[in-house]
Structure 1
Amino acid sequence: MAAAASPPDVPPVIGPHTPGGTPATAPGAAPALDLESVRASALVVDDEGRIVAANAGARRLFRTSAEELAGQDAHDLLHRDSDGHPLPRSRCRMREALLTETTAQSDLGWFARGDGTLLGLSWLITPCALTPGTTGALVLLHEVRQPATMPPGAGTAHPPLSELDRLTLLAETTTGLTSTLDVDEALRRLAALTVPRLADWAVVDLLTEGDEVRRALVVQHDNGVLIERTDLQGPMPPVPQESPMPLSRALRGVASALAGPSTYQGPPDSGIAVEQQRLFTATGMHSAAIAPVRGLRDVLGALTLGRSLRPDAFTAADLPLLEDLTRRAGLALDNARLYQRQRKVAETMQRHLLPQMPTVPGLEMKARYVPAPDASQVGGDWYDAFPLADGATALAIGDVVGHDLEAAGGMAQLRNMLRAFAWSRPESPSGVVTQLDQAVMHIAEVPMATLLLARLTCEDGLWRLHWTNAGHPPPLLITHDGRTRYLTDAHGILLGTGSTKPRLDAVVTLPPRSTLMLYTDGLIESPSHSLDHGLDLLGKHAAALARRPLDSFSDTLLEQVRPADNDDDVAFLAVRTPDAAR
């Protein structure tokens, strides 16, 4: 049946009663047949396969409502293969009959209920007139009862996959596993691809970098649903080097093999054999196929596929397909592990690049850094706070173009040069930034950057901020009673442009118990709203949190203000002055 679209705005010749209680009838046509009078479960579809009507029997059969069926593509919504997967349109005999306007029937087809369970039905489809000049089809459905001796959920022996099905499965595995860099998500996708298409159970054992074994995933197919069995997951005993048992050999990368309960019935030769006895007992698997999962250089683990409900056992003919699957899984897991190692390295680098806050008597200082969602946990946004030779405290925040390792390297150069210039020349912030700008142009590998540099001093109990701004978002000052003010003075051009225009300084006295915020543009910029809106939003939330402890103030503000569609990293520095009595 064909692609979904809006149902035609015409009354069906064969369909339910109209709301007025009389059958729907086309002008000049014979009276319509009331679909509810059909004793079998019945559907009517239009010439594109969309459901026009369903009687009460069909609604009970599919455990769904008329509203949920109406207008839906019958093939996409209902038709499945014997494993519960969507049936390819090229293999759908019902769709072929609809398109050719012929009658067809089958003793067994598989359909999805509204609750996700699989239903075996015999069906008959025959053309019918919906309105004059418009045809569709009537579909009659009868439930196929399984023999009482079969266990619940059990099916008949599955025929071997065709070559096309095998290639499709391998293509889906490659696409599904390589599109994620999360190891756990990759394992879940692998299980969903193989269960129930090939087996009733999927078990993944992984080797850690210390050669320890962890049963990372156990998934069961039960009544149309995949269930993760966390009770069977967890740490495993070490891999025995001489054991001939199938899982031990697979974890050493030796070979794939078949296994069953009898394989592990004898005295266990290792702790892994004990766990395998437990696995076969708990799952009821009567047949299993086990294959190593290999990366480019090492064995990463093993995949076990098991059958408990399906009566047919795995054979040696199934092993080549399993090995193809695990080969693709190994490459995907290798990439995911490499990415995770790189993330750890990047996180360590970022922790070392971003400084610890100094202790300044009377002041509270908190800093936060949030990486860009798609970057490697590092970027060009940075903050700094450090003591100066004359007793003042320097505050700085900046943003080097980019949010990757190259930007992080440029940020480190910029920060280190700034510290050196600020320490050796305790003068106005504008003089330090002017000298830094000249250095950026000649000796640094920084394309362009914004920077705000400030000196914080305390004289006679009053805290004063002297600052200059090189193209950076303005600081925000929040008083204890919730008033806010952006410090927009002393604003100049960003670093790295070659401009020789003099830079300016500004000064402000910070009220007692006030909070000064320095931040990067990732906190306020979004593709979905203007910069002014972002500044307004920041001011409103900061005012509402003015009396929060500084840790809570910082965390809550980031959570509430940072745009959900932000693709940039964020650096944030908050300073709170003491009470006037201090």
Structure 2
Amino acid sequence: MIAPDADGRAGRSRPPETRRARRGLPDLPDLPDLGVYVVDDEGRIVDVNRRAETLLRRDAADLLGQDAHDLLHRYSSGHSLPRAQCPMMHAFLDRRTVQADRGWFQRGDGSPLPMAWMVTPYEIGGKAAGAMVLFHETTSAEVTEWERHDPAAPLSELDRLALLAETTTLLTSTLDTDEALRRLVRLVVPRLADWAVVDLITEHGEVWRTAVVGHDNGVLAPREDLQGPMPPVPPESPMPLSRALRGAASTLAGPENYQGPPDSGIAVAQAELFRATGMHSAAIAPIRGLREVIGALTLGRSGPSGAFGGVELSLLNDICRRAGLALDNARLYQRQRRVAETMQRHLLPQLPDVPGLEMTARYVPAPQASQVGGDWYDAFVLPNGVTALAIGDVVGHDLDAAAGMAQVRNMLRAHAWSHGEPPSSIVERLEQSVVHLAEASLATLVFGQLEQLTDGTWQLRWTNAGHPPPLLIEAAGQSRFLDAGAGLLLGTGIAAVRTDAVVCLPPLATLVFYTDGLVESPGRSIDEGLARLRRHAAALAHRPLDTFCDLLLDRVRPVANEDDVALLALRIPVPGGTPSLRPGTGRA
């Protein structure tokens, strides 16, 4: 440290040009006990008095032009203070006069300066655009409320219990692994550490560095360049991370652990991690599931705060136990979801190739909790050349619903193929099968038969068993729902007479079959959803059919939807094309 001169200032002389960098500012008073500095409207220091230099142990040349918050404002530990939590910044931004008996600046030699302060608006160049800060050294040991957010300060027992309760609540309220990891990082950075590093062991036994996250004034800052696949875990390595990934007890570590010759690729990666992040202290603990170790969590400190100790290590163990159970549950759920979704996708059919007729389908699983359900579509050519079209929904959002969906679809195919009857008769036969044979309890369905008549026009005959009505959009944008032919849903056991409806489809018209997940969501009526579907479908009628379907899903499907969606769309060709179906008589 440079020794102070006779009047208490640092030994370097102040350059005249720097001393006069105030440009129109009146001289600041050189008071014996009161440090004073002025900041402009951007928070940069434009003037200081001599006592401020002495208290801060910094020359004016080191202060002028610097951002006062970034350079000076600190927690009592010396840890960087986020702007959002800084009371001096609040006063500066609000253009108010505020004073406090407690605060901390960082001196030029890195030591903390406990002080009392006042911030008040100050005119620069005739405009009240800046602020003046007055401060003096104190010896008070009282900790103010905002200092309790200091990530380097030890947590009280109450704070520790509150953090563990928050960890349990946040991590167990999601079944998405990525979201659980994001919540875990937000819990510990910057509250407990400057860095959080998560290494997970995949289902194939590989180690993947899933998260390396620091913070900049309290704002999380991921280091994606340090993330990615890791070398295998050596079976006998004594290095801290390798031991944690094998399930050994938690431990404290530092860059010195990785300064010698590396014993494995993981040791090389760890040495690079300490170098790139500047961590001087780390606490590493295994993340254990119910049956096996699923990863490790590393907390690191790179700022002026002290090294981790036994108290923090104990807290880290408690956090990792809760994280392990939550991540294990999320993994199990996602594994079951993938199996169910794969099964359902394989159950959905390939669309037939009907010359001249454009046809496409989409299936979108529900997000989060209800990942698989009973929504389905089907299209197949009957022995008489007529194309059968179906869209349906079996009640439920689980494997039972998916299995019931497969039964209903297969029975519908069997009845339609075996009996050359109108849609209503086929659905009446299906009703009996659902009630007596299928595992599905309730289901909705639209079943139609599409044929090309002798004059080249296309005709749809359909019946509806409690399902949202198909939407017909003409080439010019006129649209209407096909509401006719409506009846009860399947599986009620109530005898009902089903009817058919018939419509001629104009050239280049688009016909859309869909399930209720496209138009219905909590907080919004199905009528609103239907109106939204009709409006957007009409606006997209000129688009190619694949683009039409993709944009329709993107624009119409509710953001808060918790249901899956099936969509079947077809476009009628222009007259004069080669007839692709048997010349019909107007009946299926």
Question: Is TM > 0.5 for Structure 1 vs Structure 2?
Answer: yes
| Corresponding position of 2:199 | 205
From the superposition, tell whether residues 303 and 384 of structure 1 become closer, same or farther in structure 2 (CA, over 3 Å).
Answer: same
From the superposition, tell whether residues 580 and 410 of structure 1 become closer, same or farther in structure 2 (CA, over 3 Å).
Answer: same
The separation in 1 between residues aligned to 2:522 and 2:318, in whole angstroms, is 44
| Corresponding position of 2:84 | 116
Distance apart, 1:159 and its partner CA: 5.7
Aligned residues of 2:285 and 2:297 also touching (Cα < 8 A):
yes
Matching residue within 108, 125, 133 for 1:148: 108
Aligned residues of 2:466 and 2:488 also touching (Cα < 8 A):
yes
The separation in 1 between residues aligned to 2:364 and 2:219, in whole angstroms, is 38
SS at match of 1:477: strand
Aligned residues of 1:112 and 1:119 also touching (Cα < 8 A):
no
The one-letter code sitting in structure 2 at the alignment partner of 1:580 is: P
Cα deviation code 1:7-47 (max 9, x no counterpart): xxxxxxxxxxxxxxxxxxxxxxxxxxxxxxxx9xxxxxxxx
| Corresponding position of 1:305 | 299
The one-letter code sitting in structure 1 at the alignment partner of 2:448 is: A
Distance apart, 1:493 and its partner CA: 2.3
Distance apart, 1:479 and its partner CA: 2.0
From the superposition, tell whether residues 59 and 148 of structure 1 become closer, same or farther in structure 2 (CA, over 3 Å).
Answer: closer
Cα deviation code 1:137-179 (max 9, x no counterpart): x964575332211189999995643322322222222222222
Q: How does 1:197-236 map to 2 (within 5 A)?
A: 197-236=191-230
Matched, 1:347 2:341: yes
SS at match of 1:239: coil
Q: How does 1:31-430 map to 2 (within 5 A)?
A: 115-116=83-84, 118=86, 140=100, 143-150=103-110, 160-430=154-424
The separation in 1 between residues aligned to 2:151 and 2:180, in whole angstroms, is 29
The separation in 2 between residues aligned to 1:401 and 1:540, in whole angstroms, is 28
SS at match of 1:227: strand
The separation in 2 between residues aligned to 1:513 and 1:265, in whole angstroms, is 72
Aligned residues of 1:482 and 1:544 also touching (Cα < 8 A):
yes
Distance apart, 1:534 and its partner CA: 3.7
Aligned residues of 2:77 and 2:153 also touching (Cα < 8 A):
no
Cα deviation code 1:353-392 (max 9, x no counterpart): 2212111111111112233445432212221101212221
Aligned residues of 1:200 and 1:310 also touching (Cα < 8 A):
no
Matching residue within 537, 541, 548 for 2:543: 548
Cα deviation code 1:476-527 (max 9, x no counterpart): 2222222223333322222223333332223222222221222223333355
From the superposition, tell whether residues 315 and 492 of structure 1 become closer, same or farther in structure 2 (CA, over 3 Å).
Answer: closer
Aligned residues of 1:470 and 1:494 also touching (Cα < 8 A):
yes
Cα deviation code 1:214-263 (max 9, x no counterpart): 11111223433332122222221111111111111111112222222221
The separation in 2 between residues aligned to 1:420 and 1:144, in whole angstroms, is 80
Cα deviation code 1:95-140 (max 9, x no counterpart): xxxxxxxxxxxx9999977x4254689x9xxxxxxxxxxxxxx964
| Corresponding position of 1:500 | 495
The separation in 2 between residues aligned to 1:158 and 1:472, in whole angstroms, is 59
From the superposition, tell whether residues 467 and 185 of structure 1 become closer, same or farther in structure 2 (CA, over 3 Å).
Answer: closer
| Corresponding position of 2:463 | 468
Worse-matched range after superposition: 415-424 or 449-458: 449-458
SS at match of 1:206: strand
| Corresponding position of 1:67 | none
The separation in 2 between residues aligned to 1:554 and 1:260, in whole angstroms, is 55
The separation in 2 between residues aligned to 1:476 and 1:395, in whole angstroms, is 14
SS at match of 1:145: strand
Aligned residues of 2:171 and 2:326 also touching (Cα < 8 A):
yes
TM-score (norm 1): 0.73
From the superposition, tell whether residues 222 and 504 of structure 1 become closer, same or farther in structure 2 (CA, over 3 Å).
Answer: closer
Unpaired runs of at least 5, structure 2 = 1-28, 30-37, 45-72, 92-97, 115-146, 578-588
SS at match of 1:187: helix
From the superposition, tell whether residues 544 and 317 of structure 1 become closer, same or farther in structure 2 (CA, over 3 Å).
Answer: closer
Aligned residues of 1:205 and 1:214 also touching (Cα < 8 A):
yes
The separation in 1 between residues aligned to 2:88 and 2:99, in whole angstroms, is 15
Distance apart, 1:205 and its partner CA: 1.3
Number of aligned residue pairs: 472
Cα deviation code 1:327-370 (max 9, x no counterpart): 11111111121122122112202201221211111111111223
| Corresponding position of 2:24 | none
The one-letter code sitting in structure 2 at the alignment partner of 1:382 is: W
Matching residue within 549, 568, 573 for 1:573: 568
The one-letter code sitting in structure 1 at the alignment partner of 2:422 is: S
Distance apart, 1:533 and its partner CA: 4.4
The separation in 1 between residues aligned to 2:436 and 2:151, in whole angstroms, is 75
Worse-matched range after superposition: 353-362 or 398-407: 398-407
The one-letter code sitting in structure 2 at the alignment partner of 1:191 is: V
SS at match of 1:116: helix
From the superposition, tell whether residues 61 and 168 of structure 1 become closer, same or farther in structure 2 (CA, over 3 Å).
Answer: farther
Aligned residues of 1:110 and 1:118 also touching (Cα < 8 A):
no
Aligned residues of 1:110 and 1:119 also touching (Cα < 8 A):
no
The one-letter code sitting in structure 2 at the alignment partner of 1:334 is: D
The separation in 1 between residues aligned to 2:100 and 2:43, in whole angstroms, is 13
From the superposition, tell whether residues 529 and 291 of structure 1 become closer, same or farther in structure 2 (CA, over 3 Å).
Answer: closer
Aligned residues of 2:466 and 2:487 also touching (Cα < 8 A):
yes
The separation in 1 between residues aligned to 2:553 and 2:323, in whole angstroms, is 38
Alignment RMSD: 3.4
The separation in 2 between residues aligned to 1:198 and 1:529, in whole angstroms, is 42
Distance apart, 1:530 and its partner CA: 4.9
Matching residue within 476, 479, 498 for 1:484: 479
SS at match of 2:196: strand
The separation in 2 between residues aligned to 1:559 and 1:490, in whole angstroms, is 29
The one-letter code sitting in structure 2 at the alignment partner of 1:380 is: G
The separation in 1 between residues aligned to 2:294 and 2:301, in whole angstroms, is 24
SS at match of 2:469: coil
The one-letter code sitting in structure 2 at the alignment partner of 1:462 is: T
| Corresponding position of 1:435 | 429
SS at match of 2:383: coil
From the superposition, tell whether residues 246 and 439 of structure 1 become closer, same or farther in structure 2 (CA, over 3 Å).
Answer: same
Aligned residues of 2:514 and 2:567 also touching (Cα < 8 A):
yes
TM-score (norm 2): 0.73
The one-letter code sitting in structure 2 at the alignment partner of 1:277 is: A
Aligned residues of 2:541 and 2:548 also touching (Cα < 8 A):
yes
The one-letter code sitting in structure 2 at the alignment partner of 1:202 is: A
The separation in 2 between residues aligned to 1:404 and 1:59, in whole angstroms, is 62
Matched, 1:511 2:479: no
SS at match of 1:144: strand
From the superposition, tell whether residues 172 and 492 of structure 1 become closer, same or farther in structure 2 (CA, over 3 Å).
Answer: closer
The separation in 2 between residues aligned to 1:265 and 1:530, in whole angstroms, is 64
From the superposition, tell whether residues 321 and 492 of structure 1 become closer, same or farther in structure 2 (CA, over 3 Å).
Answer: closer
